Amino acid sequence: MPSWPARTFKPVVARALRWLRHANYWIIAQLALTVLRILRLLPATWSLNFLDRTARRIGPLMGRHRAALANLRAAYPEKDETEIKAIALDMWSNMSRLVGEYVYMAQLTRTDPATGLPANIEIVGEDLFLRLREEKGPHIFFTGHLGNFEILPTVAAAYGLEMSALFRAPNNPFLAAELMEKRSESMGDLVASGRGSAFTLARILDNGGNIGVLVDQKFAGGIETTFFGRPCQTNPLLAKLARHYDCPVHPARCVRLPGNRFRLELQEKLDLPRTANGTVDVKATAQLLNDVIEGWIREEPGQWMWFHRRWERRGKYRHRNRKQPAAIG
């Protein structure tokens, strides 16, 4: 029986695997988009409450729930199991609402005719929005995956403060295309993370623009920092941009409130740590960003993604500090 040469066989297998992965992405996307289309036909409050109840039942059955519980135990050794599990359930509630809010974003951020601003969002730091709108840039804004973290660019646009937001597209290309379209409708200019994104952000700052960045994600090969007292690696991009442009860096966060409402807080610029020669200290700034995000999470622990592999470490840092809790997730 003739055998295929290895040189011929490998490309065939590779193409077949790519096709299967592509087909899997398509099936998952169609299921997800079908659910979202059904939700569009239903009242927003009912749908979001339904997603909330469903997530609280299904979330604990998922593998990532165990990762979330382990991360919570390591972050809050003083809390008992009842408290830990309650936070984890709140996390699934927050995540389910976040997904559903893609469908109802136009309703949730509808403007008040009297003010021209989103009616369902409490603004803390309105004077700062107005001041920065009139200031010449550049400015850097940062936030974390708290509440509905994508509201910041929407509110900034309502105040006439132009902002280019860095985002990470889903691996699923079909879902990525749908989300990109929905995000662009309300969030304005978007910059997809990946190759070339740092240059794009730098070009925006060069032109006196404003950028928004999420800073609480794992970054393999990043700067060695701590988060909740545990070692992790942090993306140095924001700190390096702040050093290069020596521009203001403003914290901003979204807090989910009862009744499908939100509170958006924009804060004054950080006093960034500096080296002996006066330039921004990149490592210390990366740690400062972590500390700010940690403080926010401690105030609203159920509104952060505890299943995220934030403490996973790679490269030369992987085997250091073995006495610290192991990477979870």
pLDDT tens profile 265-282: 999 999 999 999 999 999
Q: ∠ at Cα 293 (290, 298), nearest 5°?
A: 120
Q: What is the pLDDT of residue 231?
A: 95
**How far, in Å, CA of 204 to CA of 192, rounded?**
14
Contact 263, 121 (CB under 8 A): yes
Task: Tell me which of 166 and 244 has the higher pLDDT.
Answer: 244
Q: What percent of the chain has pLDDT over 70?
A: 83
pLDDT at 323 over 50: no
What is the DSSP pairing of strand 249-257 with strand 261-266? antiparallel
* Domain presence at residue 29: yes
**How far, in Å, CA of 84 to CA of 102, rounded?**
28
* Domain presence at residue 323: no
pLDDT at 4 over 60: no
- Least confident window among 4-13, 227-236, 287-296: 4-13
Contact 274, 280 (CB under 8 A): yes
User: Domain end: 64, 83, 102, which one?
Assistant: 102
pLDDT at 5 over 70: no
Domain count, the chain: 2
Contact 110, 181 (CB under 8 A): no
One-letter amino acid at 223 equals I
pLDDT at 291 over 60: yes
Same domain, 239 and 125: yes
* Domain presence at residue 108: no
User: Domain end: 72, 102, 132, which one?
Assistant: 102
* Domain presence at residue 159: yes
Same domain, 151 and 23: no
**How far, in Å, CA of 280 to CA of 272, rounded?**
7
Same domain, 34 and 117: no
- Section 61-74 average pLDDT: 95
Same domain, 98 and 118: no
Q: Which pair of tokens denotes residue 121?
A: 């969002």
Enclosing domain of residue 219: 113-317
Same domain, 93 and 122: no
Question: Which tens digits make up the pLDDT trace of 68-118?
Answer: 999 999 999 999 999 999 999 999 999 999 988 888 877 777 777 777 777
Same domain, 156 and 186: yes
User: Domain end: 102, 130, 149, which one?
Assistant: 102
- Section 177-183 average pLDDT: 61
Same domain, 95 and 126: no
Same domain, 130 and 158: yes
Same domain, 242 and 120: yes
* Domain presence at residue 107: no
* Domain presence at residue 216: yes
Same domain, 160 and 44: no
- Among residues 73, 94, 71, the alpha carbon closest in space to that of 82 is found at 73
Partnered with residue 256 across adjacent β-strands are 262
- Least confident window among 215-219, 221-225, 266-270, 314-318: 314-318
* Domain presence at residue 79: yes
Same domain, 168 and 21: no
Q: Which pair of tokens denotes residue 96?
A: 């389910």
pLDDT at 185 over 70: no
Contact 53, 61 (CB under 8 A): no
- Section 135-158 average pLDDT: 89
Question: Which tens digits make up the pLDDT trace of 248-263?
Answer: 999 999 999 998 899 9
Same domain, 136 and 89: no
As a 3-state breakdown, the chain gives helix, strand, coil percent values, each rounded to 5, of 50, 15, 35
* Domain presence at residue 18: yes
